[in-house]
Structure 1
Amino acid sequence: MKYLASVALALAVAQATPVKRDAPQGIDVSSHQTGIDWNAVKNDDIEFVYIKATEGTYYTSPQFGSQYTGATNAGLIRGSYHFARPDTTSGADQAQYFLDNGGGWSADGITLPGALDIEYNPYGSDKCYGVSADEMVAWVMDFSNTYNGQTGRYPVIYTTTDWWTTCTGNSPAFGANNPLWIAHFASSIGDLPAGWDYTTFWQYADSGPNPGDADIFNGDSANLQKFARGG
């Protein structure tokens, strides 16, 4: 999730803090973060973490297993995310790959539903991966329905309002089912994509005192646990 902002923007907002400081704080990490002291993270009042598991149908994070186990042992609520490559294979194939490599969900109260990270293309100049808006909506729906069919939960969608507007035509098709995880590095959350009246998670900075990016849950700790259980 390091593809979201220019260097200038990242430097400008690195110290940004969210408006709601009483809500559960979280982080998201990938293979870029190694040797994480999960007990220290927990002791810094971090309550949840999303961990990169897969990308496309060709990559599994070498750090995923140790990160997931470490977060679990430290008592964090944790979940996994998949980096979308809609230019390579189908949404259904990528959802299955994600499920087969750490992306599952269970109603144990400590597992967050899997998240689909769909954003700017880090591998080329076309931010929409050469896919039309209608094709992109169909791809995301394919992924979402496949994930739901096997877990009973719809995946969280991680994106930015700009990317969603540009690359899906600002489709409102997912707001009724898919929780939104919005990325916006600023002191306020800004406009949301069509279909969503609120966001479940907000990634508000790409740095902080803990590893990875900084996130916040829209609710209190009891609601976070309820969300993890599927309630």
Structure 2
Amino acid sequence: MSARYWPLGAGRIVTSGFGARPEGWHWGCDFGRDGGSGGMPVYAAQAGRVIYAGAASGFGGPDPAGWIVLDHPTEAGSGTTVYGHIVREVSIGQQVAAGQRIGHINPSSATNGGVAPHLHFEVHRSVWSSPGPDRLDPLPWLTGAKEPGGENMPADIPAPVPVTFGIDISSFQAGLDLAQVFREGFEFVIAKVTEGDYYRDAQWRGFRDATLAAGKILVGYHYVRGDCDIEAQADLFLSHIGDPSIPAMIDHEANSGGANVARAMVAALQRRGVHVGLTYLPRWYHGQIGSPDLTGLPPLMSSSYGANRAGYASAIYPGSNDSGWNGYGGLDVAIFQFSEAGRVAGRNVDVDAFRGTPDQLRALLTGDEEMPSADEIAKAVWAHRPAKPNGKTDATTGEMLGWTDHHAGLAVDQLAGAGSKDQPGDLDPTRWDFLADRSVPEALGLIGAKLGIPGFRDPLAGGR
């Protein structure tokens, strides 16, 4: 039998099988994986030639989003296979090997036909055919198929990193339809508020209100000017943002000054109750000012636009391993601006990516990253402690703190005298009568002095 491979790697699940569904007959099989499948690699089920690729009705677009159709010669197993809701990584006419990576699942419902990310896989008996008896149930056809990338690929391969897309706008994008932006799958907006101590962005309030009304994530940014007073810049930002609870970003580039100015700007905003969640200090400017240490500043938003990278965000996103994600100056990159020509709501706009979910981005921007509960902390600590004599193997936080306080008090009493642990403030030992009215350390000093041990002395000699 010719080589045949699963179209997704190990760990995949069937999200919708071939056959009857309430909305009608499903002429393929849908695959995904728990935890999200956007970005998962898609593999050729058999060797063949790419006969269709790119935008397709129902599967999304524009190109390279959409579908791939492979024609398989007889010696490779024959038939035709279809891969939908994907972003292609091969071209029409290209020959591909069985098990070769040919694309990835499109993570954006804006360009994948308006569906949750998954792979729609079809098998046609010979040539491509309309819905009917020449379309086969893929699961029996895949019986005995190999795992792509190796027959022994582990089943616990890590899930793909979720990606959240956003835009970066200012008054230059006046009139942008944010409702359409959000319908296209974008989850966050970074919008200009102010610049220096003199400029208020006229579009900020409209962008702010539309974003918040839609329940999306909003960041307001200030373009720092090195020739303007820092405190005056912070006052201007606070007066124009309208809501100081909105996370801020400093935009630190041409004419902004050195890293010391960036630190002063962040500090001035923080003194006014504004949480600064991001630093946009692009790599080119970092080099221009001498590549200083940036540690202590908020995480970076970086920018790198590639070679003529333009189009729909989900189609042109270069991936979570692109060099644009590499940090610098001692800071990590939290948001990557990967194109200044992303096609959004019919306009060309700066487009950004965050490696994570919208909730994770909110936590990062607000400084409210989820902490373990008190009981979770207690369980983690208890795992490293021996069981109590009564056999108890777990404890609440309150019990652990109570035991710690109790045991510490016993140690104080044993060393300083009965009841010493109950004293407020500075300790005044009550001492032990059987040690000649001394505490344990005082008694040890006397004994050492009597034995002539160098360095020992009676601390009470000459009275208290």
Normalising by structure 2, we get a TM-score of 0.39
Q: Match of 1:38?
A: 178
Residue 213 (str. 1) matches residue 350 (str. 2) = yes
**Cα–Cα, structure 1 residues 94 and 166, in superposed 2: closer, same or farther, change >3 Å?**
same
Alignment partners' CA distance in 2, 1:40 and 1:93: 36
Q: Match of 2:299?
A: 179
Alignment partners' CA distance in 2, 1:103 and 1:85: 21
Q: With CA pairs under 8 Å and 6+ residues apart, which has the higher RCO, 1 or 2?
A: 1
Alignment partners' CA distance in 1, 2:228 and 2:355: 33
SS of equivalent residue, structure 1 residue 214:
strand
Q: Which moved more, 1:139-148 or 1:94-103?
A: 94-103
Residue 70 (str. 1) matches residue 214 (str. 2) = no
Q: Match of 2:236?
A: 97
Alignment partners' CA distance in 2, 1:91 and 1:71: 28
Please state which structure has a larger fraction of its residues in helix. Answer: 1
SS of equivalent residue, structure 1 residue 50:
strand
- Provide the aligned length of Structure 1 versus Structure 2: 194
Alignment partners' CA distance in 2, 1:90 and 1:193: 27
Q: Deviations over 1:9-60 (max 9, x none)?
A: xxxxxx9x9xx88311000100011212221111111000011111111110
Q: Please say if residues 91 and 141 of structure 1, whose CA atoms lie closer than 8 Å, have aligned partners that are also in contact.
A: no
Q: Deviations over 1:166-196 (max 9, x none)?
A: 21x2222x33341211111133234432111
What letter matches 2:195 in structure 1? E
1:116 to 250, 263, 285: 250
Alignment partners' CA distance in 2, 1:103 and 1:206: 28
2:270 to 134, 145, 148: 148
What letter matches 1:154 in structure 2? V
Decide which structure has the larger Cα Rg and report it.
2
SS of equivalent residue, structure 2 residue 295:
coil
Give unpaired runs (5+ residues) of structure 2. 1-63, 65-86, 88-159, 307-317, 369-464
What letter matches 2:330 in structure 1? G
What letter matches 2:261 in structure 1? W
Q: Match of 1:23?
A: 163
Q: Match of 2:327?
A: 192
Q: Which moved more, 1:24-33 or 1:209-218?
A: 209-218
Q: Please say if residues 193 and 241 of structure 2, whose CA atoms lie closer than 8 Å, have aligned partners that are also in contact.
A: yes
Please state which structure has a larger fraction of its residues in strand. Answer: 2
Alignment partners' CA distance in 2, 1:189 and 1:105: 34
Q: Please say if residues 278 and 365 of structure 2, whose CA atoms lie closer than 8 Å, have aligned partners that are also in contact.
A: no
Q: Please say if residues 90 and 142 of structure 1, whose CA atoms lie closer than 8 Å, have aligned partners that are also in contact.
A: no
1:170 to 273, 291, 298: 291
Residue 83 (str. 1) matches residue 223 (str. 2) = yes
SS of equivalent residue, structure 1 residue 151:
coil
Identical aligned pairs, as a percentage? 25
Q: Please say if residues 144 and 155 of structure 1, whose CA atoms lie closer than 8 Å, have aligned partners that are also in contact.
A: no
Alignment partners' CA distance in 1, 2:242 and 2:209: 14
CA positional deviation for 1:218: 2.8
Q: Deviations over 1:68-100 (max 9, x none)?
A: 1111222211111111211x2133332222122
1:158 to 274, 277, 280: 280
Q: Match of 1:226?
A: 363
CA positional deviation for 1:138: 2.0
**Cα–Cα, structure 1 residues 193 and 25, in superposed 2: closer, same or farther, change >3 Å?**
same
Q: Match of 1:8?
A: none
Q: Please say if residues 103 and 114 of structure 1, whose CA atoms lie closer than 8 Å, have aligned partners that are also in contact.
A: no
CA positional deviation for 1:103: 7.2
Alignment partners' CA distance in 2, 1:102 and 1:217: 23
Q: Please say if residues 295 and 329 of structure 2, whose CA atoms lie closer than 8 Å, have aligned partners that are also in contact.
A: yes
Alignment partners' CA distance in 2, 1:94 and 1:103: 15
**Cα–Cα, structure 1 residues 152 and 34, in superposed 2: closer, same or farther, change >3 Å?**
closer
Q: Which moved more, 1:68-77 or 1:146-155?
A: 146-155
Q: Please say if residues 161 and 192 of structure 1, whose CA atoms lie closer than 8 Å, have aligned partners that are also in contact.
A: no
CA RMSD of aligned residues (A): 2.5
Q: Match of 1:9?
A: none
**Cα–Cα, structure 1 residues 193 and 96, in superposed 2: closer, same or farther, change >3 Å?**
farther
What letter matches 1:116 in structure 2? I
Q: Please say if residues 38 and 71 of structure 1, whose CA atoms lie closer than 8 Å, have aligned partners that are also in contact.
A: yes
Alignment partners' CA distance in 2, 1:200 and 1:25: 12
**Cα–Cα, structure 1 residues 115 and 229, in superposed 2: closer, same or farther, change >3 Å?**
closer
**Cα–Cα, structure 1 residues 154 and 64, in superposed 2: closer, same or farther, change >3 Å?**
closer
CA positional deviation for 1:155: 4.5
Q: Match of 2:61?
A: none
CA positional deviation for 1:104: 5.2
Q: Please say if residues 304 and 339 of structure 2, whose CA atoms lie closer than 8 Å, have aligned partners that are also in contact.
A: yes
